[in-house]
Amino acid sequence: MTPGGEHTTRARILEVAEAFLGECGYHGTRLHLIAQRVGIQKASLFHYFPSKEGLYRAVLEESVGQTEETVRRVLEAQGTPFDKIRTLLESYVDMVAAHPARTKILLRQSLGDAPSEPPHTNDSQRLLDVIVQFIRDGQQAHAFEAIDPVALVLGIVGMVAFFFTSAPVLAPAWCGDPWSTGHAERVKHHVVEVVERCLTPTERPHAAARRATA
């Protein structure tokens, strides 16, 4: 109950649970292993969280909130549209790289690895809308090429998630340690290159205008 008191055991449980949920998924996560790594007994978990599902939701909420804050902060900063896009991509990759388990949890969650009910679709929806609207504005100002913004954003999110979760399994030689700064930099470089190629306007404005109305 005391505000300061929550900063020890409860936070530690969330931290450990996040790691296990990312690595093993909801069904694969065993409470006794969480308790063991925290250094408490399994039954003590139920003093801090009402159930396994409650713990899961608490982990999710902390993750989504931070992502949203980061994206909004970048888009509200100063700079040209291309500057913002580049900064947004780099911040996003940094964030993914800094929280390995979170990305896996979000991927699993959208795969349906949930207790039962869909938790926070609205949050993700709003977040997506913010970025899509930013790209649309840039396109109407002829700063960006007229490519489908929703497809672009969704594709990039999937790409980045894949680079940090699945790719190390499929191509370990290329990825090396996926949580090293080297891998994050390589991903950043590639993603920025792809997006810039997709958003750089075609030389003649006629072509861009034609595509936009097609």
Interacting residues with a second copy (CB under 8 A) = 23-28, 104, 107-108, 110-113, 118, 121, 124-125, 128, 147-148, 150-152, 154-163, 165-167, 169-172, 174, 186-187, 190-191, 193-194, 197-198
Q: Is 44 an interacting residue with respect to DNA (CB under 7 A)?
A: yes
Q: Which of the stretches 48-56, 86-94, 126-134, 186-194 binds DNA when contact is defined by CB under 7 A?
A: 48-56
Token pair recorded at residue 72:
């909004």
Q: Is 7 an interacting residue with respect to DNA (CB under 7 A)?
A: no
Q: Is 20 an interacting residue with respect to DNA (CB under 7 A)?
A: no
Token pair recorded at residue 75:
């888009």
- Helix and strand numbers (H, E) in the chain are 12, 0
Q: Is 9 an interacting residue with respect to DNA (CB under 7 A)?
A: yes
Task: Give yes or no for a contact between 72 and 139, defined as CB atoms under 8 angstroms apart.
Answer: no
Alpha helices, DSSP H, located in 166-180: 167-170, 172-175
Binding at 190: pick from a second copy, DNA, none (beta carbon under 5-8 Å per type): a second copy
Q: Give, in order, the Cα–Cα distances in Å from 37 to each of 43, 87, 132.
A: 14, 37, 41
List b or e across 135-165, with b for residues whose CB sees 16 or more CB atoms inside 10 angstroms: beebbeeebbbbeebeebbeebbeebbebbb
Nearer to DNA, 5 or 141 (CB): 5
Q: Is 29 an interacting residue with respect to DNA (CB under 7 A)?
A: yes
The binding site for DNA (CB under 7 A) comprises: 1-2, 5, 9, 29-32, 39-44, 46-48, 51-53
